[in-house]
């Protein structure tokens, strides 16, 4: 399992999360992300959207920070993706209790729920390979 591809995919996901989070922080309920949903500008909703946008920015920055040494940052990697996974479970709960959100949010749910265990497994394999390489005795020439 490739460390480089793990870094690339996580980098792209971090950039996407950073952009979406920044949009939510900047525009709140009027963010282009929610345009098709015609969300009303209720102060409580706008405040929560901006707050969770900020959370997304923070998680994305943390993910970008660990990318260079992703195989050594297992705990932080797991915390970041566990937060996304739990958020995805919240989206699923909303889907069943309130109804289907706009299509882009359904796509995010696919990234947040089924993809997270795969990313966690992949990172664990990259970390394991790195540990094995470090502890391998050197062969004489």
62-96 pLDDT tens trace: 999 999 999 999 999 999 999 999 999 999 999 99
Please give the pLDDT value at position 103: 82
Burial of 77 (0-12, 13-18, 19+ CB in 10 A): buried
Whole-angstrom distance, CA of residue 40 vs CA of residue 47? 12
Q: Which one of 27-31, 39-43, 84-88 scores highest in mean pLDDT?
A: 84-88
User: Percent of the chain beyond pLDDT 90?
Assistant: 73
């Amino acid at each position: 399992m490739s460390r480089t591809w793990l870094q690339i995919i996580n980098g792209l996901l971090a950039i996407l999360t950073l952009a979406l989070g920044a949009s939510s922080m900047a525009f709140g309920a009027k963010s282009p992300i929610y345009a098709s949903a015609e969300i009303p500008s209720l102060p409580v909703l706008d405040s929560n959207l901006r707050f969770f946008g900020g959370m997304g920015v923070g998680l994305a920055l943390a993910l970008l920070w660990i990318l260079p040494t992703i195989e050594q940052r297992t705990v932080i990697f797991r915390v970041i993706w566990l937060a996304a996974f739990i958020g995805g479970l919240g989206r699923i709960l909303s889907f069943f209790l309130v109804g289907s959100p706009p299509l882009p949010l359904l796509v995010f749910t696919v990234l947040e729920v089924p993809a997270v265990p795969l990313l966690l497994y992949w990172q664990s394999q990259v970390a394991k390979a790195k540990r094995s390489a470090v502890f391998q005795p050197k062969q004489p020439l």
